[in-house]
Chain A
Amino acid sequence: MSPSFSWIRPEPWGIHVVPADCWIDPSREVPHALVTHGHADHARGGHGRTTATPETLAIMDLRYNTRENIQPVHYGETVRLPGGVDATYLPAGHVLGSAQILLELGGERVIVTGDYKRRADPTCPPFQVTPCDVFITEATFGLPVFIHPPIAGEMAKLLTRLAEYPERCVLVGAYALGKAQRVIAELRLAGHHQPIYLHGALERMCRLYEELGVSLGELRPATGASKDAMRGHIVLCPPSALNDRWSRRLPDPITAMASGWMRTRQRARQRNVELPLVISDHADWPELTGTIQEVNPAETWITHGREDALLRWCQLHQRRARALALVGYEDEDD
């Protein structure tokens, strides 16, 4: 690998910014962490110092009580790290507060995308294409079979099914941070202003989104609500609760799941899903490859997901690329 980028060193437990001795999204406790976004596989508690966007810090506070030794950085803002490294946080469009981190030293520019998407999302600002020398990208949906359909069509499917069965409810499994709030916000955009019922595990995060300025309309706890009250309504829960006994309290639920993995039938069937909704907070294949072309870096490093296929694509398009073996990133619930 080019020795000129030796100040950035990928290790199995995170990306090491050597002159600053800090780590991006480390999976173990470190003295100083730069965190891209609040999902549990990227943001962990217990670091000596944490640098992230104010929204990500608020999410980490909610989840890990991370409130000491924090350094908020707004989008577009640059902070000087030890060793003369400049770090700029740029919108990644993944979830509220999610950022790419641009690192600069001696005229070399490296971007770590964290997780990102290119579609419009009413709950967070869009991904910002920024030129760089090394583009360190995710590859969660890094297979050419993954083409996420427009979200409006998925919302229409959900609302059509809801209208067809007024005596039942539609139970939508959605990841607690990001996906759940995006689904709610998109439902509101689609003109659905009925109350939406929430599994207890989603309530605090939705409240935090509202405090941070994302309005979600009328939300009600599913716990304690009567079966009759929930008939004809949408209920949201984390994916793990879809087929759990928790759902027995609901009025004959139609089980749906909002996830990029719903693109393939076997994955949807494994989840016992009746209504698969292909809604992802990650870039799909055309967006992963299109973003690399737009950013047009000298090198592409691939962090996690289906790196083999994206690596192959880079080869086929005469782009320098390497796969990094990072551990601890999970993608099952997107």
Chain B
Amino acid sequence: MEAFAALVDALIYTRSRNGKLELIADYLRRTPDPERGWALAALTEGLDFPAVKSGTIRTLLHERVDPLLWQLSRDFVGDTAETASLLWQPPALADGPPAPPPSVTQAVEALSAMTRASVLTELPRLLDRLDPDGRYALLKLATGAMRVGISARLAKTAFALAFRVDVDAVEEYWHALAPPFQPLFDWAANGADPPDTQSLPLFRPFMLAHPLDDLQVDLADYVAEWKWDGIRVQLACAGGATRLYSRSGDDITATFPELAEALTIPAVLDGELLVRGSHQGGEEGGAASFNALQQRLGRKTVSAKMLAESPAFVRLYDLLLLDGEDLRECPWTDRRAALEALLPRLPAEHFDLSTIIPADSFADLATIRDGTRDEAIEGLMLKRRTSPYVAGRRTGLWYKWKRDPLLVDCVLMYAQRGSGRRASFYSDYTFGCWQGDPADPAGGAELLPVGKAYSGFTDEELKRLDRHVRQHTLNRFGPVRETDRSLVFEVAFDSVRASKRHKSGLAMRFPRIHRIRWDKPAHEADRIEALQALVHGEPGGGTARRQDLSAE
């Protein structure tokens, strides 16, 4: 437990991703089985001990610490497990030498054996054997929320790094195994055969696309389909069970139960999860905007009302496995044919096909792309007809060709310090548009914040922006500085929608700094009306516009 506790603390205080990767990889290399497997499960929050909850810790401490002193301490520390780890009184030395600290494996065994009845006597026995850092790690592990700032993906990447294996293979085997992942370590660290992944509804790593940028492709070699603005999902059915996975491989079956029920054929499908909508979607038929989808995301359970109001369906892109046969090595054209043949066997209310866009030439395609008005469309996908289905991004196979972003001129209002490498820089910017006429000195025009961005500029530009913020500060609020509203940003964003959370009533999607207009006076920035006109569709008034590539 000491080495694991040291790892947990080091992860908490290490800011860089590479630093975290090295720490985990190093731990995995020098820790024996099955200790490292349990530790990996704890880091990826794959452990659950039903008898130990946050309330259990509180109850334990109330038996030992004055309730008011506990409460004052908890309020200051801000974390129940940490407060308990600091307040725990180890047994007096007079009671004999303390037992040695438990290993992670021993702790997991003990925690698994606890019941609601025994936890109040058994958990203290473990805590008594640990120092404050060890107690913290134990309580975090026991309550299933490490909060060390790493994702499951990062832990898997660290595993791959530790044993020099392919992270996508790790990802694929991962879902077939349970903690402590012994077959995974046997394969990666001890040279055994890879784990068996047949007959389980496993996640297969997604195939991803590169941005097209300035490239052009020949439509004889590539097909075009719409890039839908939902969430990319994978549905896997095997051995009588169906699972729905997000792009990161998280199991989101419980959030969309109707989809898992809809697939009963042994297959693995790749598609875009969308929610039915009525007011848009045009000829492609009834996909609501991302906004509607968000109402259902992030919920662990779903009500009957929600199922009725926002039914989900999958617009299918690809077919990876069917009836026990792995199609991933086949060319796209064969997989597409198999997918089209499969479609009639799937319930129509939950599945349709992402159609192929007929276009005679690349120029033709560009016209189609620019002409689309559908909010559920993000742009185009271009797929090589001969491409196998491979994990990750491989050059030359798939391209994404997003619609040009919308642009609006905003005025910098607040700046906040970044974190990590940018900790000393004011790198997060809040900007606004004018309400009222800024050219009229008596008009009382004011800026309304419309968004926040922290990307889209070079390191050199960041230095200059940082200098600007420091030299134009009006007020300071902790890490935030209010500036004198003299700098104009040309902000690029994908779409804008109505939002009650912001004073302006608007929320931008993916705003980023497109250009810094050092030259432009603030009163020439856009008015709020220009953004409001974009809430439903295309520029209607003002100066907000699609980026014009020809002017670049």
Q: Which residues of A line the B interface, CB within 8 A?
A: 143-145, 147, 243-248, 263-266, 268-269, 272-276, 306, 308-309, 312-313, 316
Contact = CB atoms under 8 A, between A and B. Distances in A.
Given A144-B65, A309-B73, A274 B14 contact: yes
7 contacts: A144-B73, A144-B87, A263-B86, A264-B82, A266-B82, A274-B14, A309-B72
A153 B197 CA distance: 49
Given A144-B65, A269-B12, A312-B66, A245 B466 contact: yes
B76 A145 contact: yes
B215 interface: no
B13 A266 contact: no
A273 B466 CA distance: 21
B68 interface: yes
A264 B13 contact: no
Contacts of B361: none
Nearest to B147: A265
A145 B83 contact: yes
Contacts, number: 67
A272 B15 contact: yes
A242 to B, nearest CB: 9
B423 interface: yes
Contacts of A247: 424
B69 A144 contact: yes
Contact of A265 (B66, B68, B82): B82
B469 to A, nearest CB: 11
Contacts of B136: 265
Contacts of B15: 272, 274
A223 B424 CA distance: 18
Contacts of A265: 9, 12, 79, 82, 136
Contacts of A309: 68-69, 72-73
Counting contact residues on chain B (CB < 8 A from A), the size range is 20 to 34
B424 A264 contact: no
B77 interface: yes
Contacts of B77: 145, 264, 266
A244 B425 CA distance: 8
A139 to B, nearest CB: 11
A145 B136 CA distance: 13
Contact of B13 (A276, A313, A316): A276
A147 B76 CA distance: 14
Contacts of B9: 265
Interface in B64-100: 65-66, 68-69, 72-73, 76-79, 82-83, 86-87
Given A143-B76, A266-B78, A275 B13 contact: yes
A308 B423 contact: no
A143 B72 contact: yes
A259 B15 CA distance: 20
B458 to A, nearest CB: 17
B58 interface: no
Nearest to A269: B12
Interface string B205-219: 000000000000000
B424 A313 contact: no
Interface string B414-435: 0001010001110000000000
Contacts of A266: 77-79, 82
A147 B83 CA distance: 12
Interface in B34-87: 65-66, 68-69, 72-73, 76-79, 82-83, 86-87
A11 to B, nearest CB: 26
A308 B72 CA distance: 8
Contacts of B466: 245
Contacts of B86: 144-145, 147, 263-264
A306 B72 contact: yes
Nearest to A273: B13
B12 A245 contact: no
A244 B424 CA distance: 5
B30 to A, nearest CB: 16
A272 B419 contact: yes
Shortest 3 CB-CB distances between A and B: which pairs?
A: A145-B86, A243-B423, A309-B72
Given A145-B87, A308-B68, 20 more contacts: A143-B73, A144-B65, A144-B87, A145-B83, A247-B424, A264-B78, A264-B86, A265-B79, A265-B136, A266-B78, A268-B13, A269-B13, A272-B419, A274-B13, A274-B14, A309-B68, A309-B73, A312-B69, A313-B69, A316-B66
A245 B76 contact: no
B57 to A, nearest CB: 14
Nearest to A264: B77
A143 B78 CA distance: 13
Contact of B424 (A143, A145, A248, A268): A248
Contacts of A274: 13-15
A7 B76 CA distance: 36
B423 A145 contact: no
Nearest to A313: B69
Contact of A145 (B14, B66, B73): B73
A264 B84 CA distance: 12
A243 B417 contact: yes
Contacts of A244: 424
B45 to A, nearest CB: 18
Nearest to B426: A245
**Max chain A Cβ within 10 angstroms of own Cβ: one of B14, B15, B72, B78:** B72
Nearest to B425: A245
Given A243-B424, A244-B424, A264 B76 contact: yes
Nearest to B419: A272
Contacts of B14: 274
A274 B86 CA distance: 20
A227 to B, nearest CB: 16
A321 B68 CA distance: 17
Interface string B337-358: 0000000000000000000000
A244 B136 CA distance: 31
Contacts of B76: 143, 145, 264, 306
A103 B417 CA distance: 48
**Max chain B Cβ within 10 angstroms of own Cβ: one of A144, A276, A312:** A144
